[in-house]
Structure 1
Amino acid sequence: MDRQQILDLYDWADGTCFRHPSKGIAPTAVVGFIHPRSSGETEVRGCTDCVIALEDARREQAARTRSKYRPGRLGKATG
Protein backbone atom coordinates (compact mmCIF):
# COMPACT_ATOMS: atom_id res chain seq x y z
CA MET A 1 0.00 0.00 0.00
CA ASP A 2 1.19 3.50 -0.66
CA ARG A 3 1.07 6.41 1.80
CA GLN A 4 -2.28 7.79 0.65
CA GLN A 5 -3.96 4.38 0.71
CA ILE A 6 -2.90 3.95 4.33
CA LEU A 7 -4.05 7.44 5.28
CA ASP A 8 -7.42 6.77 3.62
CA LEU A 9 -8.04 3.97 6.14
CA TYR A 10 -8.41 6.53 8.94
CA ASP A 11 -11.08 9.04 9.91
CA TRP A 12 -9.56 12.51 9.97
CA ALA A 13 -10.61 15.53 11.99
CA ASP A 14 -8.95 18.74 13.03
CA GLY A 15 -6.97 18.29 16.23
CA THR A 16 -3.56 18.52 17.85
CA CYS A 17 -0.89 15.91 17.16
CA PHE A 18 0.56 14.29 20.28
CA ARG A 19 4.12 14.55 18.90
CA HIS A 20 3.84 17.89 17.09
CA PRO A 21 1.65 20.21 19.17
CA SER A 22 3.58 23.19 17.81
CA LYS A 23 1.94 22.58 14.42
CA GLY A 24 -1.31 23.75 16.03
CA ILE A 25 -4.61 22.50 14.67
CA ALA A 26 -4.09 20.06 11.78
CA PRO A 27 -5.80 17.00 10.29
CA THR A 28 -5.36 14.19 12.83
CA ALA A 29 -6.55 10.63 13.37
CA VAL A 30 -6.97 8.64 16.57
CA VAL A 31 -3.81 6.59 17.15
CA GLY A 32 -4.54 5.39 20.67
CA PHE A 33 -6.09 6.13 24.02
CA ILE A 34 -4.83 7.04 27.46
CA HIS A 35 -6.70 6.60 30.71
CA PRO A 36 -5.77 9.39 33.13
CA ARG A 37 -7.18 8.92 36.61
CA SER A 38 -8.83 12.32 36.61
CA SER A 39 -10.70 12.21 33.31
CA GLY A 40 -11.32 8.68 32.06
CA GLU A 41 -10.48 7.68 28.50
CA THR A 42 -8.84 10.33 26.30
CA GLU A 43 -8.02 10.05 22.61
CA VAL A 44 -4.43 10.41 21.43
CA ARG A 45 -4.36 11.96 17.96
CA GLY A 46 -1.60 11.95 15.38
CA CYS A 47 -0.91 13.96 12.23
CA THR A 48 -0.38 12.33 8.83
CA ASP A 49 3.39 12.05 9.32
CA CYS A 50 2.94 10.36 12.71
CA VAL A 51 0.30 7.94 11.42
CA ILE A 52 2.67 6.86 8.65
CA ALA A 53 5.60 6.55 11.09
CA LEU A 54 3.50 4.45 13.48
CA GLU A 55 2.24 2.26 10.62
CA ASP A 56 5.84 1.77 9.45
CA ALA A 57 6.80 0.64 12.96
CA ARG A 58 3.85 -1.78 13.05
CA ARG A 59 4.81 -3.20 9.65
CA GLU A 60 8.43 -3.69 10.76
CA GLN A 61 7.28 -5.36 14.00
CA ALA A 62 5.02 -7.72 12.04
CA ALA A 63 7.92 -8.65 9.77
CA ARG A 64 10.20 -9.32 12.76
CA THR A 65 7.61 -11.51 14.46
CA ARG A 66 6.39 -13.07 11.22
CA SER A 67 2.85 -11.99 11.91
CA LYS A 68 0.33 -10.51 9.53
CA TYR A 69 0.41 -6.74 9.06
CA ARG A 70 -2.96 -5.07 8.63
CA PRO A 71 -2.78 -1.29 8.17
CA GLY A 72 -5.44 1.01 9.57
CA ARG A 73 -5.54 -0.49 13.08
CA LEU A 74 -4.02 2.33 15.14
CA GLY A 75 -6.36 3.34 17.93
CA LYS A 76 -8.34 0.11 17.67
CA ALA A 77 -8.39 -2.72 20.18
CA THR A 78 -6.12 -5.60 19.23
CA GLY A 79 -7.15 -9.17 19.27
Structure 2
Amino acid sequence: MDSEILSLYTWTPGVCFRHPELSETDTVKVKTLHPRSSPDQDLRVCRRCLLALEAIRRAAAEGAGDVYEPGHVAE
Protein backbone atom coordinates (compact mmCIF):
# COMPACT_ATOMS: atom_id res chain seq x y z
CA MET A 1 0.00 0.00 0.00
CA ASP A 2 2.85 2.42 0.80
CA SER A 3 4.29 2.19 -2.69
CA GLU A 4 0.83 2.83 -4.16
CA ILE A 5 0.45 5.98 -2.04
CA LEU A 6 3.93 7.20 -2.93
CA SER A 7 3.23 6.70 -6.64
CA LEU A 8 0.37 9.22 -6.41
CA TYR A 9 2.86 12.07 -5.98
CA THR A 10 5.43 13.76 -8.22
CA TRP A 11 8.86 13.59 -6.60
CA THR A 12 11.71 16.05 -7.12
CA PRO A 13 15.00 16.61 -5.29
CA GLY A 14 14.71 18.82 -2.23
CA VAL A 15 15.08 19.05 1.54
CA CYS A 16 12.41 17.73 3.90
CA PHE A 17 11.22 20.47 6.26
CA ARG A 18 10.78 17.93 9.07
CA HIS A 19 14.53 17.12 9.10
CA PRO A 20 16.50 19.69 7.12
CA GLU A 21 19.77 18.42 8.55
CA LEU A 22 19.61 15.45 6.17
CA SER A 23 20.95 15.77 2.68
CA GLU A 24 18.84 16.44 -0.39
CA THR A 25 16.49 13.58 -1.26
CA ASP A 26 13.32 12.96 -3.23
CA THR A 27 10.58 15.20 -1.86
CA VAL A 28 7.12 16.45 -2.68
CA LYS A 29 5.80 19.96 -2.08
CA VAL A 30 3.00 20.01 0.50
CA LYS A 31 2.52 23.74 0.95
CA THR A 32 3.87 27.13 -0.08
CA LEU A 33 4.40 29.71 2.65
CA HIS A 34 4.04 33.39 1.76
CA PRO A 35 6.03 35.31 4.41
CA ARG A 36 5.74 39.08 4.28
CA SER A 37 9.43 39.77 4.70
CA SER A 38 10.95 37.16 2.38
CA PRO A 39 10.26 35.27 -0.84
CA ASP A 40 7.75 32.42 -0.96
CA GLN A 41 9.05 29.17 0.53
CA ASP A 42 7.91 25.68 -0.39
CA LEU A 43 7.48 23.13 2.39
CA ARG A 44 8.64 19.76 1.12
CA VAL A 45 8.54 16.31 2.69
CA CYS A 46 10.43 13.09 2.08
CA ARG A 47 8.80 9.72 1.47
CA ARG A 48 8.82 8.69 5.14
CA CYS A 49 7.23 11.96 6.24
CA LEU A 50 4.65 11.85 3.47
CA LEU A 51 3.54 8.41 4.65
CA ALA A 52 3.27 9.77 8.21
CA LEU A 53 1.10 12.66 6.99
CA GLU A 54 -1.08 10.26 5.00
CA ALA A 55 -1.52 8.12 8.14
CA ILE A 56 -2.70 11.23 10.04
CA ARG A 57 -5.17 12.01 7.24
CA ARG A 58 -6.42 8.41 7.24
CA ALA A 59 -6.99 8.43 11.02
CA ALA A 60 -8.77 11.80 10.85
CA ALA A 61 -11.05 10.57 8.07
CA GLU A 62 -11.88 7.37 9.91
CA GLY A 63 -12.53 9.32 13.12
CA ALA A 64 -14.93 11.63 11.31
CA GLY A 65 -16.64 8.78 9.49
CA ASP A 66 -15.37 10.03 6.13
CA VAL A 67 -13.86 8.02 3.30
CA TYR A 68 -10.07 8.22 3.17
CA GLU A 69 -8.63 8.87 -0.26
CA PRO A 70 -4.82 8.96 -0.44
CA GLY A 71 -2.89 11.42 -2.57
CA HIS A 72 -4.19 14.72 -1.26
CA VAL A 73 -1.70 15.81 1.42
CA ALA A 74 -0.94 19.02 -0.46
CA GLU A 75 -4.58 20.09 -0.67
Is the structural similarity TM-score above 0.5? yes
Give 1:74 shift. 1.4
Amino acid at match of 2:17: F
Helix, strand or coil for the counterpart of 1:23?
A: coil
Helix, strand or coil for the counterpart of 1:21?
A: coil
Give 1:75 shift. 1.4
Segments of 5+ residues of structure 1 without an aligned counterpart are none
Q: Would the alpha carbon gap of residues 40 and 65 (structure 1) be closer, same or farther in structure 2, given more than 3 Å must change? A: farther
- The root-mean-square deviation of aligned C-alpha atoms, in Å, is 1.3
Report the count of equivalent residues: 75
Give 1:52 shift. 0.1
Hey, what does 1:17 align to over in structure 2? 16
Residues in 2 aligned to 1:26 and 1:68: alpha-carbon distance in whole angstroms:
31
Q: Where does structure 1 differ by over 2 angstroms across 4 or more consecutive aligned residues?
A: 38-42
Residues in 2 aligned to 1:74 and 1:42: alpha-carbon distance in whole angstroms:
17
Amino acid at match of 1:8: S
What percentage of residue pairs aligned between the two structures are identical? 40
Residues in 2 aligned to 1:12 and 1:49: alpha-carbon distance in whole angstroms:
13
Q: Would the alpha carbon gap of residues 41 and 69 (structure 1) be closer, same or farther in structure 2, given more than 3 Å must change? A: farther
Give 1:23 shift. 1.2
Hey, what does 2:67 align to over in structure 1? 68
Segments of 5+ residues of structure 2 without an aligned counterpart are none
Q: Please give the TM-score of this superposition, normalised by the length of structure 2.
A: 0.90
